[in-house]
A and B are shown apart, each in its own frame.
Chain A
Amino acid sequence: MRWSYIISRITVLFLVWALFFFGMDPALRWSLRRAGEAAAGAKVEIAGLKTRIFPPSLVITGMQVADRSDPFKNLFQFDSLAFKMEGKPLLEKKFVVKDASLLGLKLGTKRDISGALHRQLESKSFAAFEKLKQKTKEFSIAKTGEAKTQAYEQVDITASSLETTRLAEKIKADFAAQSAAWKEKTDSAKFNERLEAIKAGLEKLKSQQDVVSRVAAANSMREDITKLKSEIETSKNLLDSTLKQAGGSLSSLEEARRKDLEGLLAKLKIPSLDTRSLTGFLLGPETAGRVGTALHWLEVSRSRMSNAPAAKAKVREKAGTVIHFHKEHVYPSFLLKNMAITGEMPSGDGQPPLRLEGTAEGFTSQPAVYGKPAVLRLNGSGSGRKMSLLAELDHTGEIPRDRLGMSMEGFPLRNMEAGSDSSLLIRTSGGKGSVSSLLEMRGENLDGKISLKAEGIRLEAKAAEPNINALLSKALTGDRNVQASISVSGTLDDPSMSASSDLGEILANALKSAAGKELEERKKEIEAKLDAAVKPVKDGLAAQMKEKEKELLDKANLNSSKISELQNKLLNKLKLDKKSIIPEGLKIPGLKW
């Protein structure tokens, strides 16, 4: 055998091995950076990455993830992240991290270079909450001068242009469909047929001479009647709940009317001056941005930690689908059993940063295989301040459930701003604040509450109009305590937020006295026009619902009385028969009257 034959082949194999050996870390680093950027929608930097085969481990150093909403800030960064993997699962191509440590975690640090990316991030939550953010920003205030000159008579207040009308039409159509379905159920020939059959059976019973077969037939009829009666009762209950639901949806018209009014007032640049709108304007954009970011990360976790078909379909396009077969002691493809976290959070007021400590457990690519929810805990305290974060991601079942709770106490509220300088801006100085929030996402449904509390803060208002400015300054003098609460509901595609606070009330009162009667009169005029446009639709819907309700209830009661009548007839018949046929005290085995 020629040596050139052997050596050349060994050389090629060696080159391939060298490519893997030396190229794996840079390739992994590049892939991690790309995956991170795709998830964060902002730049991700990794200073170093080192893998080792014996013992199997991975160390990432100097990672920074920029904040999409504030490109000159990092969402988080850390000094090092080290994974130690279990050897046995590796033989099965499963990456089980038994111990990991995240050191030097820092939240919200400044960046020298912008972390913005040119490409657009595809995120349902970002898109939905950005829309919500813009909506809350639309609130126009203190432009009374413009309001006076607006030709509000020309604004379109026809029924077809209003959300209230659209919603009323939808409720009408839904109710019509539901009542038609119910009517079909009760009117069905099958029900009448069964009723007639029972009647006929009752007639036949009179002519039957044999006691045993008469009792048996009566028993069978009794069962039929009981069954039919229970079906009628179930249908009646269903009708009740349908009617209650319809009544409830009528109240949602009020919310639509409020939104229509707000929209019209915004078009005419007339401030609505109610507490909810003002609080929404001041706190809405910031809150919507933060909630959007939090939900985006939950969305990311779902795509990486879910067995949903959509996630599989995405994998199919690029790298094929991995099919898992039966195994007795199965490991998930990736599992982070336990990770210790240490780090800090900047205080921003000259105080030392808050020391953070936490753990991350059960983060896996196959939650259904692992069977436990992933939990992230992060706590910090120091210098009279406290911070805690708890994220519980349960993707083990068919419907994923995520909970994100966060609380912060004793944080300085210096130089914080709310609102916009084009209409109304509120600036804080001094005082301390606390926030507690709980956000839940069950499937696509959202439910959340955020409570804000500020103690001993000084507020400074800046409005576009000087007379309003003076009145607001007067209303906001001195140190005060402020409370606010924000609720999040709806779905990931269509979220909604409502806010209330005592600050909103103070501002609303001050603005009302500043804007005077004129704005109130204009608002009332618009309200009257809106009500006039909506009234025929609302009245029509209410009348139709009332009429249908009566018709359906009558029908339900009629069916109920028909079947009760039959039942009574049968019982009477059985009583008479029993007296005439069976002597008192005699028991016949197997016979049940």
Chain B
Amino acid sequence: MTPLGILRYLIKGLTGETSPSQAGGGLALGILLGLIPKANLTAQLILVLIMSLRVNVGIALVAATFASLARPVANLIADPAGLWLLTKVPALQPAWTYLYNVPVVPWTGFNNTLVIGNLALGLALFIPFYVTGKKLAVLYNSTIKERLAKSAFVKALKASWLLDCYFKYSG
């Protein structure tokens, strides 16, 4: 197999899940991954989760990139929210203390206000983004996809190998 062939094979694998729920799942998990600071185990676990579940990885990675760019704004809410969760909710204190005492768990960065705050924010946004992603996928599959494929712009782009293989394998 040529290098281009390998790349096509990989892209096919990553963009194969195109049902509305798989696209919605990819969007919601991608947003969650993008919001969380990356140098901790939580972000790595979410990445592994994205790779293990049958979600659209392409959408997830694009969503993660955009969410990462929006993180400075999200931090304005996430930082105080994280501080509140970690210090001001007595009911959660035993759980935090327990987790703090479990080996390896501190590497998740759960005791960092930005990690826990953004995780909470990402989880709160999970359902809305999942539903939005699903609806957008339905809309795309029913109306936009065909029109887009027929447009002169895409036809011209199809000459390029990257989009060619996308349209070839995305069903």
For residue B14, which residues in chain A have a CB less than 8 angstroms away from its CB? 8-9, 12
B-binding segment of A45-53, A280-288, A313-321, A529-537: A313-321
Report B58 CB to chain A, min CB distance, Å.
10
Contact B100 A325 (CB under 8 A): yes
Instruction: State the CA gap A61–B122 with chains docked (Å).
Output: 42
A327 within 8 A of B: yes
For residue B57, which residues in chain A have a CB less than 8 angstroms away from its CB? 8-9, 12
B167 within 8 A of A: no
For residue A93, which residues in chain B have a CB less than 8 angstroms away from its CB? 106-107
Q: List 21 A-B contacts (CB under 8 A).
A: A2-B16, A4-B13, A7-B13, A8-B12, A8-B57, A13-B48, A93-B106, A93-B107, A94-B106, A320-B37, A320-B114, A321-B112, A321-B113, A322-B111, A323-B113, A324-B100, A324-B111, A325-B100, A325-B111, A327-B97, A327-B100
Instruction: State the CA gap A91–B105 with chains docked (Å).
Output: 8
Contact B12 A4 (CB under 8 A): yes
A151 within 8 A of B: no
Specify the chain B residue showing the minimal Cβ separation from A10. Answer: B51
Instruction: State the CA gap A590–B35 with chains docked (Å).
Output: 77
A residues 1-31 touching B (CB-CB < 8 Å): 2, 4-13, 16
Complex partner residue of A319 from B87, B103, B112, CB under 8 angstroms = B112
For residue B66, which residues in chain A have a CB less than 8 angstroms away from its CB? none
Instruction: State the CA gap A10–B57 with chains docked (Å).
Output: 12
B104 within 8 A of A: yes
Known contacts being A13-B47, A321-B83, is A7 close to B9, with CB within 8 Å? yes
Instruction: State the CA gap A16–B86 with chains docked (Å).
Output: 30
Specify the chain B residue showing the minimal Cβ separation from A27. Answer: B39
For residue A5, which residues in chain B have a CB less than 8 angstroms away from its CB? 13, 16
Specify the chain A residue showing the minimal Cβ separation from B86. Answer: A323
A-B residue pairs, 8 tightest by C-beta:
A8-B13, A320-B114, A4-B13, A93-B106, A91-B103, A9-B51, A325-B100, A320-B113
For residue B106, which residues in chain A have a CB less than 8 angstroms away from its CB? 92-94
- Interface mask (B102-142 → A, CB under 8 Å = 1, otherwise 0): 01101100011111010000000000000000000000000
Contact B87 A323 (CB under 8 A): yes
Known contacts being A8-B14, A13-B48, A325-B96, is A320 close to B107, with CB within 8 Å? no
Instruction: State the CA gap A13–B48 with chains docked (Å).
Output: 7
B101 within 8 A of A: yes
For residue A320, which residues in chain B have a CB less than 8 angstroms away from its CB? 37, 75, 79, 82, 112-115, 117
A residues 297-330 touching B (CB-CB < 8 Å): 316, 319-328
Instruction: State the CA gap A13–B51 with chains docked (Å).
Output: 8
Specify the chain B residue showing the minimal Cβ separation from A329. Answer: B101
B52 within 8 A of A: yes
Report B125 CB to chain A, min CB distance, Å.
19
Complex partner residue of A9 from B13, B101, B104, CB under 8 angstroms = B13
Report A8 CB to chain B, min CB distance, Å.
3
For residue B11, which residues in chain A have a CB less than 8 angstroms away from its CB? 8
For residue A10, which residues in chain B have a CB less than 8 angstroms away from its CB? 51
Contact A316 B111 (CB under 8 A): no
- Interface mask (B23-34 → A, CB under 8 Å = 1, otherwise 0): 000000000000
Known contacts being A4-B13, A7-B10, A9-B13, is A323 close to B103, with CB within 8 Å? no
Report A9 CB to chain B, min CB distance, Å.
4
Known contacts being A4-B9, A9-B13, A327-B100, is A319 close to B114, with CB within 8 Å? yes
Specify the chain A residue showing the minimal Cβ separation from B51. Answer: A9
Specify the chain B residue showing the minimal Cβ separation from A91. Answer: B103
Instruction: State the CA gap A94–B12 with chains docked (Å).
Output: 42
Known contacts being A13-B48, A320-B112, is A325 close to B13, with CB within 8 Å? no
Known contacts being A8-B14, A12-B14, is A322 close to B104, with CB within 8 Å? no
For residue A94, which residues in chain B have a CB less than 8 angstroms away from its CB? 106
Additional A-B contacts beyond A320-B37, A322-B112, A323-B86 (12; CB < 8 A): A4-B12, A8-B11, A8-B57, A9-B13, A9-B51, A91-B104, A93-B107, A316-B113, A319-B112, A320-B115, A323-B113, A326-B97
Pick the most buried of B11, B51, B93: most chain A CB atoms within 10 A of its CB. B51
Specify the chain A residue showing the minimal Cβ separation from B41. Answer: A93
Instruction: State the CA gap A16–B64 with chains docked (Å).
Output: 14
Specify the chain B residue showing the minimal Cβ separation from A16. Answer: B47
Report B79 CB to chain A, min CB distance, Å.
6
Report B115 CB to chain A, min CB distance, Å.
7
Instruction: State the CA gap A323–B100 with chains docked (Å).
Output: 10
Contact B12 A327 (CB under 8 A): no
Instruction: State the CA gap A314–B139 with chains docked (Å).
Output: 46
Report B108 CB to chain A, min CB distance, Å.
9
Complex partner residue of A92 from B47, B103, B115, CB under 8 angstroms = B103
For residue B112, which residues in chain A have a CB less than 8 angstroms away from its CB? 319-323
For residue B12, which residues in chain A have a CB less than 8 angstroms away from its CB? 4, 8
Report B85 CB to chain A, min CB distance, Å.
10
Report A381 CB to chain B, min CB distance, Å.
45
For residue A327, which residues in chain B have a CB less than 8 angstroms away from its CB? 97, 100-101
For residue B114, which residues in chain A have a CB less than 8 angstroms away from its CB? 319-320
For residue A325, which residues in chain B have a CB less than 8 angstroms away from its CB? 93, 96-97, 100-101, 111
Report A317 CB to chain B, min CB distance, Å.
9
Instruction: State the CA gap A91–B101 with chains docked (Å).
Output: 10
For residue A6, which residues in chain B have a CB less than 8 angstroms away from its CB? 13
Report B47 CB to chain A, min CB distance, Å.
6
Pick the most buried of A13, A321, A325, A326: most chain B CB atoms within 10 A of its CB. A325
Report A64 CB to chain B, min CB distance, Å.
28
Specify the chain B residue showing the minimal Cβ separation from A328. Answer: B101
A residues 328-363 touching B (CB-CB < 8 Å): 328
Instruction: State the CA gap A323–B116 with chains docked (Å).
Output: 11
Report B23 CB to chain A, min CB distance, Å.
16
Contact A319 B37 (CB under 8 A): yes
Report B117 CB to chain A, min CB distance, Å.
8
Instruction: State the CA gap A54–B100 with chains docked (Å).
Output: 24
For residue A91, which residues in chain B have a CB less than 8 angstroms away from its CB? 103-104
Report A86 CB to chain B, min CB distance, Å.
13
For residue B97, which residues in chain A have a CB less than 8 angstroms away from its CB? 325-327
Report A263 CB to chain B, min CB distance, Å.
49
